[in-house]
Amino acid sequence: LHLLKKAQTAQENSVRTPIKTWSRRSTVLPDFVGLTFSVYNGMKFIPVSVNEDMVGHKLGEFAPTRSFYGHGADKKGKK
């Protein structure tokens, strides 16, 4: 409910600044379409612009928490 209130005030005032949130478990509602959220992934805030295909999913699905840099064996073999 707290994100819904923030989204409604952002749409009423037509503010384009991202809505900062730590709530990765919040479900994307149809009212969020067209807004931008800054979702915290544990280290930094990831900007997520919501479109119609995201409705029903969780915000955390669009802000990955882990970065894959490749396997150590792949780097060791290239000299």
Per-residue model confidence as pLDDT tens digits over 52-67:
999 999 999 999 999 9
Residue 57 lies in a domain: yes
Domains held by the chain: number? 1
The boundaries of the domain holding residue 35 are 2-65
42: alpha, beta or left? (left if phi > 0; alpha if psi -120 to 50)? left
Q: What is the CATH number of the domain that holds 59?
A: 3.30.860.10
Cα–Cα distance, 50 to 9 (Å, whole number): 16
- Asked whether the beta carbons of 4 and 42 are under 8 A apart, the reply is no
Report residue 23 CA to chain centroid gap.
10
In a domain, 75, yes or no: no
- Considering the entire predicted model, what is its pTM? 0.82
| 21-62 pLDDT tens trace | 999 999 999 999 999 999 999 999 999 999 999 999 999 999
Query: Number of helices (H) and strands (E), helices first, in the chain?
Result: 2, 3
The answer to whether residue 76 sits within a structural domain is: no
State how far the Cα of 79 lies from the Cα of 66, in Å rounded to an integer: 27
- Residue 77 belongs to some domain of the structure: no
73 in a domain, yes or no?
Answer: no
